[in-house]
Structure 1
Amino acid sequence: MDLAISPEILALLVCPVSGQRLRLATAEELLLFTLGEEDGGALLTEDLSVAYPVRDGFPILVESERLERQSKP
C-alpha cells in the first residue's frame, strides 16, 4: 500500500482519544480491522487496538470513525 502521508506529517499525528502516536497499517494488520488495501488504508495506534481509516489519502481522525480490532495480533 502506498499512502502519500509524509513521515514529517505522520510524526505529528496522534489518536484524538488516547493521545497515542499513529503509524501506517500493513496489509496484514488491516485484516484485524476487517479492512483491506482496497479500503484505502488506515493509521494504527501504538498498542494496535484502534485504526483510523484513510480515505482518498486523508486520515479520518474522528472518534466516531475509529475501528476497534476484531482479534488479537
Structure 2
Amino acid sequence: MLSGARGKLALALRGTRAPASAVARRGLHASGPRPSADRSGKAEAPPRAFDPALLEVLVCPLSKKPLRYEASTNELINEELGIAYPIIDGIPNMIPQAARMTHQSKKQEEMEQH
C-alpha cells in the first residue's frame, strides 16, 4: 500500500524538480533568502501552482483525513477540524503550527448556543 502511494506521489512530482546541477549552480540554501532576479536582470519565474493530483496522497497530519484544495486562498482545507494549510510556491506547508483556523469547532459552537 505504501509503495503504491509512493508511486503516485513520484508521478505527481515528476518534472517539478530542477536538476541537481542547476541547484548547485544557483547555490540555493534552504535557510537563505531567494533572490527576486538574477544578475542578468530577468525576473524570477512565477511561483509554481499547486498540483491537485497531490490530493490523492496528501492527508491532514492531525486527523489523517483527506484535504480539499481551495484555489481562491491557495490552501488545503480540513473541513472536519476547521484548519487550512498554506501552499507556498506550489508546496503545501503541512506543519500544524503553520495552519490557520477557518472556523470554530462544532462543539464550541454548540456550547455557545446553549
Is TM (by shorter chain) over 0.5?
A: yes
SS of corresponding position for 1:8: helix
Structure 2 spans left out of the alignment, 5+ residues? 1-47, 106-114
Structure 1 spans left out of the alignment, 5+ residues? 31-40
Task: Report the counterpart of residue 56 of structure 1 in structure 2.
Answer: 89
What are the superposed Cα offsets for residues 26-57 of structure 1, whole Å, 9 maximum, x if unpaired? 53xx4xxxxxxxxxx10011436110000011
**1:50–1:66 contact (8 Å) kept in structure 2:** yes
Aligned residue-pair number:
58
**2:77–2:83 contact (8 Å) kept in structure 1:** yes
The alpha carbon displacement at 1:19 in A equals 1.0
Alpha-carbon distance change, 55 to 6 in structure 1, aligned in 2, over 3 angstroms: closer
Alpha-carbon distance change, 7 to 57 in structure 1, aligned in 2, over 3 angstroms: closer
Task: Find the partner of 2:101 among 58, 68, 71.
Answer: 68
Q: 1:1-73 residue pairs with structure 2 within 5 A?
A: 4-27=49-72, 30=73, 41-47=74-80, 49-70=82-103
The alpha carbon displacement at 1:18 in A equals 1.1
Which structure is higher in strand share? 1
The alpha carbon displacement at 1:10 in A equals 1.2
Higher relative contact order, structure no. (Cα contacts within 8 Å, ≥ 6 residues apart): 1
Q: Return the index of the structure with the highest Cα Rg.
A: 2
Task: Report the counterpart of residue 37 of structure 1 in structure 2.
Answer: none
| Aligned CA-pair RMSD | 2.4
The amino acid of 2:55's aligned partner reads L
Which structure is higher in helix share? 2
